[in-house]
Amino acid sequence: MPEADLNLLIALDALLADGSVAGAARRLGLSASAMSRTLTRLREATGDPLLVRAGRQMVLTPHAEALRQRTQNAVHEARAVLGPATTELDFSTLQRTFTIRSNDGFVEAFGASLIAAATAVAPRVCLRFAPKLEKTAAYLRDGSADLEIGVLSEMGPEVRVQALFRDRFIGVVRQGHPLAMEPEVTTQRYTAFGHVVASRHGRTSGPVDEALAALGLVRTIVAVVPSFPAALAVARASDLIALVPASVLHNQSAQQELPASTDTHAFELPVTTGEIAVSQMWHPRLEVDPVHRWLRQLTLTVCRERLGQ
């Protein structure tokens, strides 16, 4: 068998990323005609057209779509193998922006501590927290996110996962609320008041409602808000009960006493719900990146120190 021209792999990666001959040519510093000739060679090597015209644009064939992620990973690994060995990083001069997809509750509970810990070591690093409006691996796959923080869902077999901490849901009311005066909240008292729930997609039911339904009870949902901090804000200013993870109220682990606050009162739910495992997720192309590995370890350390786990 003739040896494969590995230069074609670089060209294929650029073509699949840009979806155009002109864009790939600019990325690689080649002329459009040279890139066009390279595309011809790639078509011959793969036995597939790879890019086909659709109106005034070029689109990837199904085979090209299937190759895109594998090609990107192969190029990344090749560059890592052929790059200079790095025995020690100089974090004092490191300039890099990390994009972390997470919900508002994580940012409110851990953002300041994570930023302080990162900039204490690498003052020129920037942490960009991006909203997580949906659970998808697309942002990790295309490189627009470095980390995703949240409850594990179907992210694809290649995504790497590490548990950060375990959490649980608790009830929260304003200080002075009738439930704040009671040593233990019963199911009857819990369902006697209105509730505010947090849901990005407007859902109004979950494990708590299933547990109450098994007892023949139902809670009254008065408001639905997009985040847990928003649910807390509503509870602080009303007689509604908020359902939030314990970590949202900061600093206390799921195994320790309930978080204390001057304007809210937290209580254990009168029904049992499962614990929540909050994880960090990343793409395997960043697995051996020493700077990304540092960020992952820092995130793990900050979360566990904040929660005493």
- The 3 state secondary structure assigned to the chain is CCCCCCHHHHHHHHHHHHCCHHHHHHHHCCCHHHHHHHHHHHHHHHCCCCEEEECCEEEECHHHHHHHHHHHHHHHHHHHHHCCCCCCCCCCCCCEEEEEEECHHHHHHHHHHHHHHHHHHCCCEEEEEEECCCCCCHHHHCCCCCEEEEECCCCCCCCEEEEEEEECEEEEEECCCHHHHCCCCCHHHHCCCEEEEECCCCCCCCHHHHHHHHCCCCCEEEEEECCHHHHHHHHHCCCCEEEEEHHHHCCCCCCCCCCCCCCEEEECCCCCCCCEEEEEEECHHHCCCHHHHHHHHHHHHHHHHHHCC
pLDDT at 75 over 50: yes
Is the model's pTM score more than 0.75? no
Domains of the chain: 7-82 (1.10.10.10), 96-164+278-307 (3.40.190.10), 169-274 (3.40.190.10)
pLDDT of residue 253: 37
Which whole number is the average pLDDT over 181-190? Answer: 94
Which whole number is the average pLDDT over 260-289? Answer: 87
Which whole number is the average pLDDT over 6-25? Answer: 89
Q: What is the pLDDT of residues 208-255, one digit of tens each?
A: 999 999 999 999 999 999 989 999 999 999 999 999 998 888 644 334
- The band of 158, judged by pLDDT with boundaries at 50, 70 and 90, is confident
